[in-house]
Amino acid sequence: MKRFFLINLFLCIVVLSGVAQRPWGHWDKWGEQPDGTFMNPVIPSDYSDLDCIRVGDDFYAMSSTMQYSPGMTILHSTDLVNWEIAGNAIPDITQIGPDLNWDKMNRYGTGVWAGSLRYHNGRFYVFFGTPDEGYFMTSAPKACGPWEPLTKLMGKSGWDDCTAIWDENGQGYFLGTNFGDNCKTYIFRMADDCRSIDFSSARLVNEGNHREANKLIRHGEYYYIVFSEHKSHLGRYVMAKRDKSLEGDFSEERQLLLPCRESNEPNQGGIIEGPDGKWYFFTHHGSGDWSGRIASLLPVEWTQDGWPMIGDRSKGEIGEMVWQMPMPKVEKKKLSIGRGGEFKKRTLEPWWQWNYQPREDKFSLKERKGWLRLYAFKPLKENTLLKAGNTLTQRTFRSEVNEVVVRMDIKNMTDGQRAGLAHYAYHSGAVGIVCEGNAKYVEFRENDNCQRKFKIDSRYVWFKTEWGLDGVATFAFSVDGENFIQCGRHHLSWGYYRGDRLGLYCFNDKTESGFVDVDYLRYRMEK
């Protein structure tokens, strides 16, 4: 008993020790540690606009995806620190609107925004909004799906960050914010099947100070609206309002977390009871950089008067960022976020996402067993990566060592075709092949500026990118898979509310012809 007490005392001291001085982005350690603690971030990758729930002994979270398809990523964990991707809730984002298709591509920075993940009567529900198209709902018997076609709940622009809850009698309530009107937040009654909301029941429960990131939760005798607000001289931080009834005015209000620009403003997430009986806030850091809006897990303490205070409160009433804590639970089997891909299955792994809804007839996992075939077609704007359809992507990580190698068969490229491996957000960099007549050349791209490097005659080519905590990627290529030649450097970037992505691209500025086969994308990471 004494030994157990001393171990826990040590872990508590760790929480309150000098970890607050940890410089942003210097994450030589993150996630679960061998000493029974974990270090934030728990996911040093772009998992934004989080919500989190507990279902039995399992935890589920969802993350916004903007213009990527499939949309709205669903995560699963058993310890709140180690996560895996369970699936995506929106297989076809053109259910939202045609502008999210490959032939439009004009929803950068918008598309699938924040929402709420819920579990009710044995079913998972996802509620979310887009700033242009309105609010939507889908549901599924399992977090991995299959998810129902989207139901539109509101067809108005200018609304965001919705959430939902059911009272003790099973009556559903829906809450959303009109950011076009002083961030006025309304609560509505919802139909029993969750497929419609009663606009006549609207009640104003919040407004002002760029208030968003809504989450409705219940604890004890109170219902809470947890949200964030922003003040220009302070930054963004977490607030809450509460009432004993969902029909109340939610007049009581409390600040839960101090603004902290040094830790990029953790502010949007879900408050849940962990496997150890303690409470936690699973949140993104709302001010993004090239690594995106990464995810951390913070402690929550319920005060005697019933408020969920977030973070380290050793220096004052309102909590601050915490970088290291004891593990909520130590599992033998460690879950992890998937990355890379060998293309051995008939479907893509759930961590792959297309930039916009893809053109279905222009890619295949069946034409050549164990390979991904990408057919070339014209981009919406000549030689512009962000206007080229069927770019296949996945998130990158901010870790000490990252190495990605792609093997590509370029035999069937035709005149005008380009294909390769890219990093991109708002800005892009890439290494690839350009076909001019019957000749093929290695080229380095910085945005839409291309530098021809080497002529090659090989059928197969390997592309490589390496980066570390500094976010500077070095591109290289090889014709044998062993000897690589460097051909350019690119500073990873943030843009359109997204962190850096890897992208496999293939397009043709001249004609709808040619294709490449991708054998694999192998992603090695060390932390």
pLDDT tens track for 78-106: 999 999 999 999 999 999 999 999 999 99
pLDDT category, 21, cuts 50, 70, 90? low
Flag whether pLDDT at 482 surpasses 70.
yes
Give me the domains of the chain, ranges plus CATH numbers.
49-326 (2.115.10.20), 353-526 (2.60.120.200)
Average pLDDT for residues 160-186, to the nearest whole number? 97
Flag whether pLDDT at 20 surpasses 70.
no
Give me 33's structure tokens: 């540690």
Q: In sequence order, what are the residues at sequence separation of 6 or more whose Cβ sits closer than 8 angstroms to the Cβ of residue 331? A: 78, 79, 82
At residue 232, φ and ψ (nearest 5 deg) are -55, -35
Short-list 266, 270, 242, CA closest to 254: 242
Whole-model pTM: value is: 0.95
Average pLDDT for residues 157-183, to the nearest whole number? 97
Distance separating alpha carbons of residues 91 and 386, to the nearest angstrom: 21
Short-list 487, 486, 490, 513, CA closest to 503: 490
Give the pLDDT confidence score for residue 2 in this predicted structure.
43
Give the pLDDT confidence score for residue 280 in this predicted structure.
99
Distance separating alpha carbons of residues 299 and 256, to the nearest angstrom: 11
Buried b or exposed e, range 384-395, using 16+ CB within 10 angstroms: ebbbbbbbbbbb
pLDDT category, 13, cuts 50, 70, 90? very low
Give the pLDDT confidence score for residue 194 in this predicted structure.
98
Distance separating alpha carbons of residues 76 and 434, to the nearest angstrom: 41
Which pairs from 70-73 meet CB under 8 Å and 24+ separation?
A: 70/350, 70/353, 71/96, 71/111, 71/112, 71/353, 72/112, 72/115, 72/126, 72/128, 73/47, 73/350
The overall average pLDDT reported for the chain is: 95
Flag whether pLDDT at 3 surpasses 60.
no
Average pLDDT for residues 419-443, to the nearest whole number? 97
Q: How far apart are the first and last CA of the chain?
A: 34
Flag whether pLDDT at 47 surpasses 90.
yes
Give strand pairing partners of 236. 230
Question: Is the CB of residue 190 less than 8 Å from the CB of residue 164?
Answer: yes
Give the pLDDT confidence score for residue 527 in this predicted structure.
87
Element of type H or E holding 3: helix 2-16
Give the pLDDT confidence score for residue 452 in this predicted structure.
94
Flag whether pLDDT at 6 surpasses 60.
no
Instruction: State pLDDT tens for residues 359-405.
Output: 999 999 999 999 999 999 999 999 999 999 999 999 999 999 999 99
pLDDT category, 162, cuts 50, 70, 90? very high
Give the pLDDT confidence score for residue 220 in this predicted structure.
97
DSSP 8: H
Give the pLDDT confidence score for residue 11 in this predicted structure.
47
Give the pLDDT confidence score for residue 418 in this predicted structure.
98
Instruction: State pLDDT tens for residues 109-146.
Output: 999 999 999 999 999 999 999 999 999 999 999 999 99
Average pLDDT for residues 183-203, to the nearest whole number? 98
Flag whether pLDDT at 9 surpasses 80.
no
Give the pLDDT confidence score for residue 410 in this predicted structure.
98
Kindly state the percentage of the chain with pLDDT values over 70. Answer: 96
Give the pLDDT confidence score for residue 16 in this predicted structure.
43
pLDDT category, 445, cuts 50, 70, 90? very high
